[in-house]
Each structure stands twice: as C-alpha cells, then as structure tokens.
Amino acid sequence: MIFERYLFRHVDEIQMLRGAKSSVLKDYMKANKCGLVTAAEKYFSYEARLPFLKPDEWEKLREIAHLRNCLVHNGGMARDSEHRKSIYRLETREWQGQSVGIEILRCEGRVVWMPIIIHQRFLEYCLSLLDHFFRTLAEAVQSRFRDGKGT
C-alpha cells in the first residue's frame, strides 16, 4: 500500500515536471494488462526515460507484489496463485547472506495446503527494497530535472 500510494504521487509529480498528463500508471496497467510494478517499469523506462533500476531489481519488486496478491486474494496459499513460480523464487532468494524470510511448508517435497509463513526478516527485506527504490528514483529525478528542464 505504501509503495502504491507513493508511486502514484511520484509519477504524477514527474508528469507535472514533464508537462504531461497525470494518472498514467492506471492507463499503463490497463493497456498492458499488467500489474503495478510492470506498469511502473514500462513508464519509467520508456515514457519518462528514467531507467533507474536494473531488471533484477524490478523482478524483486514484482515478486513482492505477487506475494502480496497471494496473501490478499488467495489466503496466502502459494499453490493457488497464478504467480506461484515467482513466489517460490522469492522463497529461495537470499538477502544479506540469508533467506529473505518467507517459508512455504512442504511434505515430501510437495507444497501443503497451509498459508505462507512470513518472518520478521521479510519485512526488513521489503523495507530495504522500498528504500532503494525511492532513493534511486529521487536521485534520477533530481539529476534529470535539476535545471527545470528534462521533458
């Protein structure tokens, strides 16, 4: 929710600096039939021409969005999610030399019908990604629009 709220605000501000239409992310989501993270990636890369994140950094944000949607829409059951492969990748991802802090219970290698377990470490991981996202976005915007131009 924090990511979404501030992302929309920042995009509207960038659009204002560019002298362009605001509220474009929802248009991107609709036109590309994609989620918010992919829409943002397309917007920043192609329309705003602010490619401030690497592809793997966008993928990390997408994995978190997929997990969030799984929690909200599938009761935290990874095997019911249309993005389960992304969630399984997130489970095996490491951050600072350790697991990012989600756990999907298995029995004899098969996912059991239990919700994903989220540890405190995962919250720290998410906050670190959000901090990096907004910090690097701010740096890119300041660099591009420092002189009041940049459209």
Q: Provide the token pair at 9.
A: 């605000």
- Phi/psi region, residue 104 (left: phi>0; alpha: psi -120 to 50; beta: rest), is beta
pLDDT at 144: 85
> Which residues, in sequence order, are CB contacts of 1 under 8 Å at separation 6+?
none
pLDDT at 92: 94
* pLDDT per residue of the chain (151 residues) written in tens, 0 to 9: 788 999 999 999 999 988 888 888 999 899 989 999 999 999 999 989 998 999 999 999 999 999 999 999 988 888 888 898 999 999 999 999 999 999 998 888 887 788 999 999 999 999 999 999 999 999 999 988 876 555 5
pLDDT at 151: 53
Nearest to 62 by CA among 101, 35, 43: 35
Residue with tokens 């990874």, as numbered in its chain = 78
Return the CA Rg of the chain: 17
Q: Provide the token pair at 84.
A: 């389960």
pLDDT at 17: 86
- 3-state DSSP call for residue 32? helix
pTM of the model: 0.87
DSSP assignment of 39-108: HHHHIIIIIS----S-HHHHHHHHHHHHHHHHHHHSTT-GGGSTTHHHHHHHHH-EETTEE-SEE--EET
pLDDT at 36: 94
- 3-state DSSP call for residue 116? coil
